[in-house]
Chains A and B, each alone.
Chain A
Amino acid sequence: MSQAVSMDRPHPGSNEQPAIQLEKVNKWYGALHVLRDITLTVGQKERVVVCGPSGSGKSTMIRCINRLESHQEGRIIVDGTELTDDLRALDTIRREVGMVFQSFNLFPHLTILENCTLAPIWVRKMPKAEAEELAMSYLTRVKIPEQAKKYPGQLSGGQQQRVAIARALCMKPKIMLFDEPTSALDPEMIKEVLDTMIGLAETGMTMVCVTHEMGFARQVADRVVFMDRGEIVESGPPNDLFENPQTDRLRLFLSQILRGH
């Protein structure tokens, strides 16, 4: 049996409304058809890992979920709200969806604490003291409370990424999106970030994670989705996918990725 994190949680696909629904989502960059009929449902508290070769559309897909990219056809429904051009819908969705970027994107001119409290104060209209308390609690959770008054430039890459996770969590999102969170880190710092993400998974957060870290996928993911050339090719529990790939494309991808593991 896999070392999946076990805890009691409703099985995805129960009567509860799914966290994210993508129905036949299509996106074009000019004439290039970059997302082709993407259909994906992510249930509450489900952890999905998306993998695939570079340029397969994985990042584009999750960036469509919080409208950093816009889709031209199909429907995206996040936490019951459909994603359209409607500003109010967009505000609602962005408040409930947190994102962690490959290049961290911390605000270099603000302290760590200010990075974390900016959005709660201005978007969730929290009083400053409450926001700071919240920020400190999350910084403690990612294990760097002592860096609160420092600036991002003074932290290592792994510490910055953990701050980025804490910053996203301060908005108390229902869904967390990770866009290759460890790809820009030096190898020795990858573990600390992955441990933080595993800890987050244990609290029951709904997560969609684009990553190449297959060990993390095995440990944490309920489902792994393999994308190639803009479409979802295979999807299933990690062990099924890694042990019994059904398509040639997945087999080729695994042979190239898992060589290093």
Chain B
Amino acid sequence: MILRHGTMVAAAWVDHEDAIMSGAAIDPRLQPARAAPKKAFSLSWSDPRFRNIVWQVVILGTIAAIVWYLVQNTNRNLTARRIATGFDFLARTAGIPIGESLIDYDPSIHTYGRALTIGLLNTLKVAVVGVVIATIWGTLLGVARLSKNWLIAKCAAVYVEVVRDIPLLLQLLFWYSALQGLPQPRNSFHPLPGVFLSNRGVKVPLVEWEQPFWWALAALAIGIAGTMAWSRSATRKQESTGVRPKVWPVGLALMVAFPVAIWAVLGAPFDVEMPVLRGFNFVGGATLSPEYGALTIGLVIYTSAYIAEIVRSGILAVPSGQWEAAGAIGLRPGIVLRKIVLPQALRVIVPPMTSQYLNLIKNSSLAVAIGYQDIVSIANTTLNQTGQAIEGIAAIMLVYLVISLSISFFMNWYNARIALVER
């Protein structure tokens, strides 16, 4: 901390010195004849370093003693109740029925480890979709709150206020009972061809994923990389000649036409499996279960209210003077938005936004209350069956900690990169 302060102060000093003492020799303070002496360490109470070490030893020691006491108790209780310890249970057969999973699962042969992995995938399924939709919807709401149209602004404000003042769990229960109130499959809503809404979930047509799709995906990745490279070369050309070649036609060709062409060349397969009513339920197609639907809808609606507020404060954080000054020097609104307003607004928006994403992911743990089998729900069942509460809960906490620490890490990196340089 002192080093940073010192270099900042030094910079200010040196600048000022250059201003006043122009022509003088290089500032001798920057090229010291010698460095700071190391201080001798004395084992007496008057040396602050010694004092600090003593205090830390005392405090850590007390806490370590308490932890040791708790661990002793725990061991005693575990042996008394004949509960196993360790993570061997992960290899045992699970026997947990799981309603929906992205990978193959058979309760009679697959292990707890696989079950927990499925739980994690289910959590990620909700998290990714939830984050994307909540961001889009939340941004629209935030912009709507700033609209000049009084009705739009008021509606958005009422939405945000109401949603934020009601517990998320209550909202989830409400959505779940609403989705369960949908009619039976034989009387389901049929808004679009192949889409059926019933109390057994939302059925949508499923496109068979075949080889050419993988190649098309690879082509898309190449297209994205190519567009970025083209954009960079366009910037270079603009810097040297002043003329910026158009990026969007190239981007369109690389990211849309190229993958489609690859797919077409490789046979253009497009087998759609439509859901068909057979007996009491549908067969074929893909299902979005009511549990998943309720969880996602509830999380999106709740988190978007918070995101709306963040976006609104981000936009408001950019003073109107910025727009005026930019307009005064002749910049068009598109450029002003991209180069001046958005960078400043994003600085204010990104940190709280990432913590809202984190909240959404943590809130998805409420799935256990409506029967959606995410990692918490499956781990809960596991620890009930094996009796190994500590390992189960530790596993859940570890998963969430990894996710949240990665997001914090990213945010710190982003903050450090975009921090405004100040005096």
Flag if A54 contacts B10 (CB, 8 Å): no
Residue B32 at the chain A interface, CB threshold 8 Å: yes
Flag if B5 contacts A55 (CB, 8 Å): no
Assuming the contacts A53-B20, A249-B21, asked whether A88 and B7 have C-beta atoms less than 8 A apart, the reply is no
Residue B277 at the chain A interface, CB threshold 8 Å: no
Assuming the contacts A72-B36, A85-B47, A249-B21, asked whether A55 and B2 have C-beta atoms less than 8 A apart, the reply is no
Residue A92 at the chain B interface, CB threshold 8 Å: no
A72 and B38 CA atoms in complex are apart in Å by 8
- Total inter-chain residue pairs, C-beta < 8 Å: 75
Residues in A neighbouring B12, C-beta threshold 8 A = 54-55
Which residues of A (224-260) have their CB < 8 Å from a CB of B?
Answer: 228-230, 249, 252-253, 256
**1/0 contact string of B25-51 vs chain A (CB within 8 Å):** 001111011011101000000111000
A137 and B5 CA atoms in complex are apart in Å by 41
Assuming the contacts A53-B20, A73-B37, asked whether A28 and B48 have C-beta atoms less than 8 A apart, the reply is no
Which listed residue (B3, B17, B33, B48) contacts A55, Cβ 8 A?
B17
A72 and B33 CA atoms in complex are apart in Å by 15
Q: Which residue of B lies closest to A231 (CB)?
A: B28
Chain B interface bracket (under 10, 10 to 19, 20 to 34, 35 or more): 20 to 34
Which residues of A (74-96) have their CB < 8 Å from a CB of B?
Answer: 84-88
Flag if B2 contacts A31 (CB, 8 Å): no
Residue A29 at the chain B interface, CB threshold 8 Å: yes
Q: In the complex, what's the smallest C-beta–C-beta distance from B347 to chain A, in angstroms?
A: 28
Flag if A256 contacts B20 (CB, 8 Å): yes
Which residues of A (8-54) have their CB < 8 Å from a CB of B?
Answer: 26, 28-34, 36, 53-54
Flag if B36 contacts A73 (CB, 8 Å): yes
Can you name 13 A-B residue pairings with CB atoms under 8 Å? A29-B3, A29-B9, A30-B3, A33-B29, A34-B6, A54-B13, A55-B17, A72-B37, A87-B46, A228-B21, A229-B17, A229-B29, A256-B20
A87 and B36 CA atoms in complex are apart in Å by 22
A256 and B22 CA atoms in complex are apart in Å by 13
A255 and B30 CA atoms in complex are apart in Å by 26
Flag if B36 contacts A253 (CB, 8 Å): no
Chain A interface bracket (under 10, 10 to 19, 20 to 34, 35 or more): 20 to 34
Residues in B neighbouring A32, C-beta threshold 8 A = 6-7, 9-10, 29-30, 32
In the A-B complex, the 8 residue pairs with the smallest Cβ-Cβ separation, listed nearest first, are A29-B6, A55-B13, A33-B32, A30-B3, A28-B36, A30-B6, A86-B46, A32-B10
Which residues of A (55-82) have their CB < 8 Å from a CB of B?
Answer: 55, 72-73
Which listed residue (A73, A84, A230) contacts B29, Cβ 8 A?
A230
Residues in A neighbouring B29, C-beta threshold 8 A = 32-34, 36, 229-230
Residue B186 at the chain A interface, CB threshold 8 Å: no
Flag if B21 contacts A252 (CB, 8 Å): yes
Residue B237 at the chain A interface, CB threshold 8 Å: no
The secondary-structure label for the interface of chain A is mixed
Residues in A neighbouring B36, C-beta threshold 8 A = 26, 28, 72-73
A33 and B31 CA atoms in complex are apart in Å by 8
Q: Which residue of A lies closest to B28 (CB)?
A: A229
B-contacting residues of A (Cβ < 8 Å)? Answer: 26, 28-34, 36, 53-55, 72-73, 84-88, 228-230, 249, 252-253, 256
Most interface-central of B32, B33, B39, B48 (chain A CB within 10 A): B32
A-contacting residues of B (Cβ < 8 Å)? Answer: 2-3, 5-7, 9-10, 12-13, 16-17, 20-21, 24, 27-30, 32-33, 35-37, 39, 46-48
Assuming the contacts A36-B28, A85-B47, A86-B46, asked whether A55 and B9 have C-beta atoms less than 8 A apart, the reply is yes
What would 17 more interface pairs be, CB under 8 Å, given A29-B3, A30-B7, A73-B37? A28-B32, A28-B36, A30-B3, A31-B6, A32-B29, A33-B28, A33-B30, A33-B32, A53-B16, A55-B12, A73-B36, A85-B47, A86-B46, A228-B21, A229-B17, A229-B21, A252-B20
A252 and B22 CA atoms in complex are apart in Å by 10
Q: Which residue of A lies closest to B12 (CB)?
A: A55
A88 and B44 CA atoms in complex are apart in Å by 13
Residues in A neighbouring B33, C-beta threshold 8 A = 33
Q: In the complex, what's the smallest C-beta–C-beta distance from A54 to chain B, in angstroms?
A: 5
Residues in B neighbouring A36, C-beta threshold 8 A = 28-29
Residues in B neighbouring A230, C-beta threshold 8 A = 28-29
Flag if B35 contacts A55 (CB, 8 Å): no
A230 and B28 CA atoms in complex are apart in Å by 9
Q: In the complex, what's the smallest C-beta–C-beta distance from B172 to chain A, in angstroms?
A: 44
Residues in A neighbouring B16, C-beta threshold 8 A = 53-55
A152 and B13 CA atoms in complex are apart in Å by 33
Q: Which residue of A lies closest to B8 (CB)?
A: A29
Residues in A neighbouring B17, C-beta threshold 8 A = 53, 55, 229
Residues in B neighbouring A249, C-beta threshold 8 A = 21, 24
Flag if B32 contacts A29 (CB, 8 Å): no
Residues in B neighbouring A87, C-beta threshold 8 A = 46, 48
A36 and B20 CA atoms in complex are apart in Å by 20
Q: In the complex, what's the smallest C-beta–C-beta distance from B106 to chain A, in angstroms?
A: 63
A105 and B20 CA atoms in complex are apart in Å by 30
Residues in A neighbouring B24, C-beta threshold 8 A = 249
Q: In the complex, what's the smallest C-beta–C-beta distance from B376 to chain A, in angstroms?
A: 45
Assuming the contacts A73-B36, A85-B47, A87-B46, asked whether A29 and B10 have C-beta atoms less than 8 A apart, the reply is yes
